[in-house]
Amino acid sequence: MSAPDRSRKLLRRMALLCTVLVLVITSLSAYIRLSRAGLSCADWPQCYGEGLRQAQQGIAATAGESDATAIARLAHRIVASSALLLIVTMVVVCFTARPVRWADGRVALALLVLALGLAVLGRWSSDARVPAVAIGNLLGGFAMLALCWRLMHDAGNALAPGWRAWARVAALLVALQVALGGLVSASFSATSCSGFSDCIDAARGLPWTALDPWREPVLAGAPPINASGALAQAMHRVLGVLLLFATAPLALAALRSARPLAAAVLLTALTLVVGLGLVMAGSGPALGVALAHNLGAALLLATLVELSRSPRPTPHPSAPS
């Protein structure tokens, strides 16, 4: 095996490990965020958002962090530190290889910038009252996963140019949907409305400022905890329907391009996102269902980003001397 092949094989193995670590990080982060919000708490829904209500009223928190959440927080720090060391190693491998792996190196550097940025953002995450911090964490973690996923795969059997453009648009829509989901979660909007038509009706007349991620939510003591959250809920559900029709054809395109694994992951992730979204809309936001929904969204975005990449140019053989 040649030196370039060895460096590529090593990089792919590290990218696979990085993908697993980032999946764990995003899942732990979601668990910590949703648990602190009170999702599926014992006295649901009265306990939902209790921590923020007490902070807004200047009252000391009556309940401390649960043992499970404390363990998840410790595990998150350990796994995040391990991922950062791995990413630094990937950068070194890319730029010390001969020839230098410039394309992979740029992706690895982008990973490093995101990891450091999230580490800085994490200093404000636990006490943040505005949804923008949670949305930044969510999008940053999902972007890291997409970049790891991209490094893990070769660019062979790329989709046709038109389908690649479609995949890019779908990836942007998924990123917007993730941001809306983060806004719903961080603004305590799970009880703002129930069914699809109920959310549309409740959203009518609400100002667009209800979508401002820098606006601290004002919570009531009884459902709906945040009535203005119905606008984010309605948009999240409408965009979910659009994504179903925008993304499903890409699975067929991946199959036609001899990408069966990408097609299978895309369909599985889409089923998780849409199916579990319907479950939560019908029976309430159970913590386990919400975490699986979050995982499906992460895999969906990562797969779309990978499908949108252009094929690498085939090197021309050197002319005979």
What is the residue-wise DSSP string for 188-234? T-TTS--SHHHHHHHHTT--GGGG-TTSPPP--SSSSTTGGGHHHHH
**Residues 38, 39, 42: CA angle, nearest 5 degrees:** 70
What pLDDT, on a 0 to 100 scale, did the predictor assign at position 320? 42
- The whole-angstrom separation of Cα 300 and Cα 175 is 10
What pLDDT, on a 0 to 100 scale, did the predictor assign at position 276? 92
CA dihedral 197, 198, 204, 208 (to 10 degrees): -100
For 163, half-sphere exposure in the C-beta direction (CA atoms, 13 angstrom radius) is 19
- The string over 266-284, giving b where at least 16 C-beta atoms fall within 10 Å of a residue's C-beta and e elsewhere, is bbebbebbbebbebbbeeb
- The whole-angstrom separation of Cα 111 and Cα 100 is 18
In degrees and rounded to multiples of 5, residue 261 shows phi and psi of -65, -45
Indicate the SS3 state at residue 75.
helix
What pLDDT, on a 0 to 100 scale, did the predictor assign at position 315? 46
What pLDDT, on a 0 to 100 scale, did the predictor assign at position 309? 87
- The whole-angstrom separation of Cα 143 and Cα 153 is 16
What pLDDT, on a 0 to 100 scale, did the predictor assign at position 312? 63
Single-letter residue type at 134? A
- The whole-angstrom separation of Cα 104 and Cα 89 is 13
What does the block give as tokens for 6? 């060895």
Residue 260: cis peptide before it, omega within 30 degrees of 0: no
- The whole-angstrom separation of Cα 131 and Cα 138 is 11
74 burial type by CB count under 10 A (0-12 exposed, 13-18 middle, 19+ buried): exposed
What pLDDT, on a 0 to 100 scale, did the predictor assign at position 157? 73
- The whole-angstrom separation of Cα 308 and Cα 300 is 12
What pLDDT, on a 0 to 100 scale, did the predictor assign at position 318? 43
For 36, half-sphere exposure in the C-beta direction (CA atoms, 13 angstrom radius) is 24
**In terms of Cα–Cα distance, which of 293, 298, 296 is closest to 277?**
293
In degrees and rounded to multiples of 5, residue 3 shows phi and psi of -60, -45
CB of 97 within 8 A of CB of 2? no
Q: What is the pLDDT along the chain (321 residues), one digit of tens a residue?
A: 677 788 889 999 999 999 999 999 999 999 999 998 888 788 888 888 888 888 877 776 666 678 889 999 999 999 999 999 999 999 999 999 989 999 999 999 999 999 999 999 988 777 788 999 999 999 999 999 999 999 988 666 789 999 999 999 999 999 999 999 999 999 999 899 988 899 999 999 999 999 999 999 988 878 888 999 999 999 999 999 999 999 999 999 999 988 998 999 999 999 999 999 989 888 778 899 999 999 999 999 999 999 998 876 544 444 443
Q: How would you classify residue 223: left for phi > 0, otherwise alpha for psi between -120 and 50, otherwise beta?
A: beta
